[in-house]
Amino acid sequence: MRISVIGAGYVGLVTGACLAELGHHVLCTDNDKSKIDTLEAGKLPIFEPGLDSVVERNRQEGRLSFSADPRAAAEGDAIFICVGTPPLPTGDADLSAIDHVAQMIAVEAKSDKLVVEKSTVPAQTGQQLQRVLGIYGRRGGVRFRVASNPEFLREGTAIGDFLHPDRIVIGVDDEIAEKQLHEIYRPVLEQKFKCPVHDGACPPMKPPAWVVTTINSAELIKHASNSFLALKISYANMVSDLAEKLGANIEEVMHGVGLDPRIGPHFLRPGLGFGGFCLPKDVQAFVRLAERNGIDFAMLREAERINHQRITGFVEKLRHSLWVLKGKQIGILGLAFKANTDDIRFAPSIELIKKLQTEGVRLKAYDPQAMEKIGEQFPDLICASDAYQAARGADALLIVTEWEEFRNLDWKRIHKSMARPLVLDGRNLLSAQEMKSLGFEYHSVGRPDLAVSSSAGALA
C-alpha cells in the first residue's frame, strides 16, 4: 500500500518517518518548500530526539521521500492528513487547511483512497471531510473512505510513543477501512520491527489496545483525552498552591494521591502550567465545541483560568523576593514549553518574558534548543550562549523548562557569578536541600521553602 502524509510538522514527520520505519513506502508532502528543502538536504526543520536518524535511514533505504507539491500525495492509497489546526481568535480550531487538503485530494484522486484524519479535529469533522470529498470529487467510480486515527504522541518522546503506544484508536465507517489501517499498523500491533528507540534490542512490549469506534467517537476520544490531561495538571497546580500555604510538600502529596490506580501517577506535576501546541488549543477548541452544542464546559474553562494564573503567580513570587522588579537583571533558564523539544508555541516562557518586559526588568535567556525560535519571536531579547552566561550578574535566575542539563550545572560556579544568589525553580527541577547548602535563596512550586541565610533572605 502506498502511503502519503500531508503536512510535515511534528505529527506528520514523525508519522511519515515511523510508518517508513515499519517497512511502508511513504511520501511526505508540505506546501512549505523551505521545509521540504531542509528535509531533502538531510536536515530536520524541528528538533525531536531520535527523529533525524529514523528519517535519514529510511530516506537512504528508499522508503521515505518528500515533495513540496501536496498534489503528489493524492497518488497514495492511504493518505494521512497531518496539517495544522491552530486556534482561531474564537478558540475554535481552524479547519481551513483540512478543508483545502480534502478538496485537493478529491480533485486529484484517480483511484479509491483511504483518507485518514490524524490532525486533532473536533467531533463531526469526519462527516464534513466525507462531504467535501464527495462534492469536489471529479472522477466517477473513485471511492473515498474516511477514517479518524488520532495521534497521542508527545513531543520529546514522539518516536517511542508512535512505535510503542498504549492504544491505537481507529474511527471508521466500514470494515475495509479498518482492515487497511490494521495492515498499516500490523508491525506495531504485533510489536515486530527493529526498534530504533531501543537500538534494535527492544524489550518485550505489551501490544497496544486496538480500539475501533465510530469516527465521531474517535475524534471525541482525542479532545477528551487532552482536556482531561489539562484538568489533571490544573488540579495539581491548585493543590500545590494550597500545599505551599500549609507547609506541605506537593511531591509527597501527589505521590500519595497517584498511587491510587483510579487516579494514576501521571500529569500531577505542578509548575508553570501546561503549554505547547496541543493542550492549550485543544482545551479551547473542546470548550467551543461544547458551547456550540449548548453545553457549558465550565470545569475546562476553570482549568484554563488556573493555567493562565501560573505565570502571574510566578512573577508575584519573584516580586516578593526582589521587592522592586524594575531595573533588575534576570536570567531565564529554559524557553521550550517542556524539555527535549525546541517548540515554544504557547510556552509559559512567552507569557513570562512579556510580563517581565513590561515590568522593566533586564532579561538574559538561555535554552539548549529553542534559541533560534525565541529569537524570531522576541528579536530584542538578549540571549545567552549558555546557562552560566544567563546567570552571570543576575539578581535572580528562573528555571522555566525542566532540561536535564540544568540539573547538572555547576551550581557552585553559578552562585559565585550571580549578583544575588536567588533561584526560582518553576519546575521543581532541583533539590531544595542542595540549593540551600550551596547558599542559595531557593523557591520552588508547592514545596516548603527551607530557611535562608540572612544575607540571602527575601527583602519583602
Active site residues: 278
CA-based nearest residue to 12, from 37, 188, 130, 39: 39
Q: 233 or 432, CB closer to ligand UGA? A: 233
Please select the residue that binds ligand UGA; options are 21, 151, 219, 395, rule is CB under 6 A: 151
Please select the residue that binds ligand UGA; options are 59, 71, 100, 154, rule is CB under 6 A: 154
Block residue for cell numbers 474517535: 218
Write down the least CB distance from residue 275 to ligand UGA, Å. Answer: 4
Binding flags for ligand UGA, 77-106, as an x/- string (CB under 6 A) = ------------------------------
Angle at 353 between CA 430 and CA 431, to 5 degrees: 5
Q: 278 or 361, CB closer to ligand UGA? A: 278
Please select the residue that binds ligand UGA; options are 8, 97, 233, 335, rule is CB under 6 A: 233
Query: How many residues bind ligand UGA, per CB under 6 A?
Result: 20
Please select the residue that binds ligand UGA; options are 278, 311, 390, 432, rule is CB under 6 A: 278
Stretch of residues binding ligand UGA (CB under 6 A), selected from 150-158, 255-263, 327-335, 358-366? 150-158
User: What DSSP string runs through 65-112?
Assistant: EEES-GGGGGG-SEEEE----PBPTTSSB--HHHHHHHHHHHHH--S-
CA-based nearest residue to 87, from 222, 275, 278, 224: 278
Stretch of residues binding ligand UGA (CB under 6 A), selected from 38-46, 58-66, 168-176, 276-284? 276-284
Q: 93 or 414, CB closer to ligand UGA? A: 93
Q: 109 or 374, CB closer to ligand UGA? A: 374
Please select the residue that binds ligand UGA; options are 120, 149, 227, 321, rule is CB under 6 A: 120
CA distances from 273 to 60, 233, 347 (A): 41, 7, 9
Taking CB under 6 A as the rule, does residue 208 contact ligand UGA?
A: no
Phi, psi dihedrals of residue 398, rounded to the nearest 5°: -110, 125
Write down the least CB distance from residue 227 to ligand UGA, Å. Answer: 10
Please select the residue that binds ligand UGA; options are 8, 188, 229, 253, rule is CB under 6 A: 229
For residue 182, what are the contacts with CB-CB under 8 A and spacing of at least 6? 170, 189, 210
Stretch of residues binding ligand UGA (CB under 6 A), selected from 30-38, 76-84, 147-155, 174-182? 147-155
Q: 17 or 394, CB closer to ligand UGA? A: 17
Block residue for cell numbers 518574558: 353
Taking CB under 6 A as the rule, does residue 152 contact ligand UGA?
A: yes
Write down the least CB distance from residue 419 to ligand UGA, Å. Answer: 29
Write down the least CB distance from residue 179 to ligand UGA, Å. Answer: 25
For residue 258, what are the contacts with CB-CB under 8 A and spacing of at least 6? 264, 265, 266, 268
Write down the least CB distance from residue 195 to ligand UGA, Å. Answer: 20
- Kindly tell me the sign of the dihedral angle through the C-alpha atoms of 127, 130, 133, 135: negative
- Kindly tell me the sign of the dihedral angle through the C-alpha atoms of 426, 431, 432, 436: negative
Write down the least CB distance from residue 119 to ligand UGA, Å. Answer: 9
Taking CB under 6 A as the rule, does residue 226 contact ligand UGA?
A: yes
Question: Residue 12: how many CA atoms within 13 Å on its side-chain side?
Answer: 30
Determine what percent of the chain falls in helix, strand and coil, rounding each to the nearest 5: 45, 15, 40
Binding flags for ligand UGA, 326-345, as an x/- string (CB under 6 A) = -----------xx-------
Stretch of residues binding ligand UGA (CB under 6 A), selected from 97-105, 201-209, 225-233, 243-251? 225-233
* CB neighbour class for 213 (10 Å; exposed up to 12, middle 13-18, buried from 19): middle
Q: 166 or 174, CB closer to ligand UGA? A: 166
Q: 258 or 439, CB closer to ligand UGA? A: 258
Stretch of residues binding ligand UGA (CB under 6 A), selected from 148-156, 213-221, 327-335, 447-455? 148-156
Name beta bridge partners: 329.
362
Write down the least CB distance from residue 150 to ligand UGA, Å. Answer: 8
For residue 176, what are the contacts with CB-CB under 8 A and spacing of at least 6? 145
Residues 234-273 that bind ligand UGA (CB under 6 A): 267-269, 271
| Maximum Cα–Cα distance across the chain | 82
- Kindly tell me the sign of the dihedral angle through the C-alpha atoms of 334, 339, 342, 344: negative
Please select the residue that binds ligand UGA; options are 117, 155, 342, 441, rule is CB under 6 A: 155
Give residue 116's identity as a one-letter amino acid code. V
Distance CA 347, CA 369 (A): 13
Q: Which residues bind ligand UGA (CB under 6 A)?
A: 120, 151-155, 226, 229, 233, 267-269, 271, 274-276, 278-279, 337-338
